[in-house]
Structure 1
């Protein structure tokens, strides 16, 4: 074979695409000495690398040749190169490959290569543009090239390569030993790449096969990718499950047959004359096939290769199952982590936002929504969106059974669509706001009940969603459904708890809650030596107002009064509807004098408020009377304080209403007198006194001073 043809064919191998190749031959009649090899052919990709490689290898080429094995060297500013010595047709050769560098650049060594003295930076951009490789990668390329060259040294093939390799009569001991060693190595590998490499290297070495291809299933198990392993392009095409049967038909398995038209149509990128196909089966499952091309495989050889392929299939099945288990474990760990994240959220809106964000990140989606089915099971509401305006989305009228999401809500089955315009299940024109035509809809289920739908579309790379995306999202949707239910249950329980302690009309605390909270505050005030004041507020002539204006107006008046009281108090104060038109406010850490200011603010606000229809009641306006009692001077228990403030309230009513009365403290410090209240019509009481607000405030402040 001409030297140029040899280099051209080697250069055509994908693994050598980025390398410069130079073939050296020993000069005729020279003896072993320095510079006894001369360049006879070259294919240069990079002139600088070739020049550096030339200076390094040519000085010691005889030494490399005497070693007799491929050598991988690092030289210059971090360049890599390999040299393969071989003898062909009685002549000695050295093949040099260069043109790649390691990741890091050695500036010190690079300086010596610069055209302008020590200015290494003049070469830096140029060197950075070179392809990078590791020592191991260059070593692997050199070994594969060595094996390729070995094929040219086979009998009857060193002058002219035949289309089909000559048949081998019997299985030699070397072949059996190579296969036996390969079986031992298979037990230790853990990756598909290593498994395929061991088997194919063994077949090439032991049976002198020219070209090999393998077909393995894709992630969805619905198609098979054909890959060139030896002497063929890396990417050969994709086979469907049906077209795979062309290669594993009984009349073609383990037999050398012609590469027919149907097989050529299935893999148009593959050029061949004959082929021998070995199915890859494990536990009854077809995992693909291994095909040998342009080599006449004899029956005995086919038997041994078949055994090796069977072991490879078993290992591939084990690796696949291990990977599936590892993936499940990783998914479980990830879901557990996501569970912890979602458990920290107690708001429905925040939960919907987090669920949609996590789901979109899991499959790289850029648009989506969460829809929940109404309680009537007919309509659906969009509760959160990604990539669209939520307020507009919430206005959409959606029904179970209508549209893509409605169909998923009705059937409870997930839907993966690669093209909405071509998929017969949806067959609709793609909307403008969607950049791609692929989408995923996942039902949100609790047990067997569908509660909503999770929709995602527009993958970041605009490619269709995959079956793996669907499986991952389905697993997460189960978790999301549980979190939605949990949050709704929590909010429902909070609502019921709130109802149990609040008045449904005004939203204020009820009498039962007031008792427990006031007792807690009394205990705290006693421990810390603090004041505490209770204010009772009662609307004047409310019965007449309610009778004359109606219950609806009465309810509105109570709500307005509740708002006035709440706005007059601090955040820490407690206000409750004690019963009917009577309210109670508890002011922790507040003296009687300070509480009088608050009470007057409440009284004045109610007096100035215009209530609907109040002109029809006796005083032509709705007012309030207030009674005040403080801890510890007017009482130390809930009952004592309520009684004292209630007596003061009755006194305010008796004194003409629309006023404030404070409970009277006994002459002895710390003692409070409590007697039955006088009738509302009474004008005198020894338990409480009517106070002019300004006079009482002034006297209280003076007594403090």
Structure 2
């Protein structure tokens, strides 16, 4: 519009990419449109000539114009500051056109009005950025307060940190104490298979050096920084990156690396300080999650039978007590199956205890596949197993027990272990609360009595307890 109104030969709007950085042509008009659009210029050379009372500069000194990296045939230039932002400015440049004082005043007024609009847009953008930062900080705080499994924590921490510092690439590395190397736990914007090949020992590479020294590294120009002496330097879109150690009291547990600001700017000292501040909280969160996983593993071990992977007898008793209490409160039945491998002693005598253990393991795996998600299978002792059937009456429990009995007899993997002797089968005793028992102990006793009767009647069958049968 300005080009047509004022019959400009050439004009270009330059936007500074970052504070004290070069300017890039984002819109152009006139004879030199193709040369100026997307070109880079060093306008600070000309701005040095501007006095406080001059909103623009007219310069016909060829040497200054050449230093500004304009096209070589430019003979004159007016500069009108369009908008001076937080980090950079937008400038209108008019080339090879002689303007009257009235035209200069009109263009200056137009730039002032347009600048107000640009300022409003930038402020809205800044508010949106601050909201993202506050959201990322809030999410980081929630992650620190709520222990997560390490895999989820590592990825969430990196994602929120990248959002907080507006970076595109990053990795989170944690020391593997057994291998004594920094292991990549989370990454973004990096090829995982390639990156995982380069787990570093302390002192190796940039991250290894940051880990070993405990000193953060802020690099604003990768190619010029004398501290980066690697022959194979990191490949980033921009020449700036930051790497900080994750410290926990008197030790370092890992390294956090960020690169490629979305805006194209370099990482600043403020970015480094912010990353160091949240790094302390990240270290605490990682430690808490490690302790949480170890606690969960100890809990799992304490309730699990080491051989079969099913629940152990102690936890079975706790769960059965809970289900009986729930049955009393809600007046719903709960059934109990007691299952025993037929002729297991003969198998042990033939194949030894290691062979017997293998059968127990295979049976434990099979039982998990044959029961419902709400059912609870446990190893009661020796070759005897129990299955709690919540919210299940005797008729339904019998159907489930019969299916389990038949599926085990048809299980080819199990039958191969018994091929030299006989087919592997099980006997099952069944009792239901409150029909067959009033207490926890009585329910187990009656299910066991039903199991004993199943053995007496020929094995490989299901017997459901009833008072008449045992009167």
Output the TM-score relative to the length of structure 1.
0.48
Of residues 406, 414, 419, the one that matches 1:615 is 419
Name the CA distance, whole Å, in 2 between partners of 1:379 and 1:568: 44
Q: Deviations over 1:614-673 (max 9, x none)?
A: 1233x2x2111111111122112111111111111111122222111111224xxxxxxx
Q: Does 1:687 align with 2:448?
A: no
| Residue 109 (structure 2) aligns with | 99
**Offset, 1:430:** 5.2
| Residue 43 (structure 1) aligns with | 101
SS in 2 for 1:398: coil
Q: Is the 8 A contact 1:421 1:429 kept in 2?
A: no
Alignment gaps of 5+ in structure 1: 1-10, 20-40, 51-97, 104-129, 135-330, 667-685, 689-705
**Offset, 1:414:** 1.4
Q: Is the 8 A contact 2:450 2:465 kept in 1?
A: yes
Of residues 308, 313, 319, the one that matches 1:506 is 308
Q: How does 1:386-405 map to 2 (within 5 A)?
A: 386-405=188-207
**Larger deviation, residues 389-398 vs 437-446:** 389-398
Name the CA distance, whole Å, in 2 between partners of 1:477 and 1:637: 55
| Residue 596 (structure 1) aligns with | 398
| Residue 566 (structure 1) aligns with | 368
Distance verdict in 2 for CA 1:431–1:415, change over 3 Å: closer
SS in 2 for 1:45: helix
**Offset, 1:18:** 6.2
**Offset, 1:367:** 0.9
Distance verdict in 2 for CA 1:449–1:636, change over 3 Å: same
Name the CA distance, whole Å, in 1 between partners of 2:276 and 2:234: 27
Name the CA distance, whole Å, in 2 between partners of 1:563 and 1:334: 44
Of residues 158, 165, 170, the one that matches 1:363 is 165
**Offset, 1:552:** 4.1
Name the CA distance, whole Å, in 2 between partners of 1:590 and 1:648: 18
SS in 2 for 1:434: coil
Q: Does 1:635 align with 2:437?
A: yes
Of residues 249, 271, 281, the one that matches 1:479 is 281
Name the CA distance, whole Å, in 1 between partners of 2:302 and 2:330: 30
**Offset, 1:513:** 1.3
Q: How does 1:195-344 map to 2 (within 5 A)?
A: 338-344=140-146
Name the CA distance, whole Å, in 2 between partners of 1:428 and 1:599: 67
SS in 2 for 1:615: coil
Of residues 260, 268, 276, the one that matches 1:466 is 268
SS in 1 for 2:103: coil
Q: Is the 8 A contact 1:100 1:132 kept in 2?
A: no
**Larger deviation, residues 608-617 vs 583-592:** 608-617
Name the CA distance, whole Å, in 2 between partners of 1:613 and 1:473: 59
| Residue 182 (structure 2) aligns with | 380
Query: How many correspondences in the alignment?
Result: 367
Name the CA distance, whole Å, in 1 between partners of 2:167 and 2:430: 63
Distance verdict in 2 for CA 1:131–1:336, change over 3 Å: closer
Q: Is the 8 A contact 2:217 2:243 kept in 1?
A: yes
Name the CA distance, whole Å, in 2 between partners of 1:395 and 1:549: 45
Distance verdict in 2 for CA 1:363–1:632, change over 3 Å: closer
Q: Does 1:662 align with 2:445?
A: no
Q: Does 1:444 align with 2:227?
A: no
Alignment gaps of 5+ in structure 2: 1-48, 58-98, 119-132
SS in 1 for 2:409: helix
| Residue 30 (structure 2) aligns with | none
Output the TM-score relative to the length of structure 2.
0.70
Q: Is the 8 A contact 2:342 2:427 kept in 1?
A: yes
| Residue 95 (structure 2) aligns with | none
Q: Does 1:17 align with 2:55?
A: yes
Q: Is the 8 A contact 1:628 1:662 kept in 2?
A: yes
Q: Is the 8 A contact 1:45 1:99 kept in 2?
A: no
Q: Deviations over 1:312-331 (max 9, x none)?
A: xxxxxxxxxxxxxxxxxxx9
**Offset, 1:554:** 2.9
**Larger deviation, residues 570-579 vs 385-394:** 385-394
Name the CA distance, whole Å, in 2 between partners of 1:351 and 1:358: 10
Q: How does 1:405-424 map to 2 (within 5 A)?
A: 405-424=207-226
Distance verdict in 2 for CA 1:551–1:417, change over 3 Å: farther
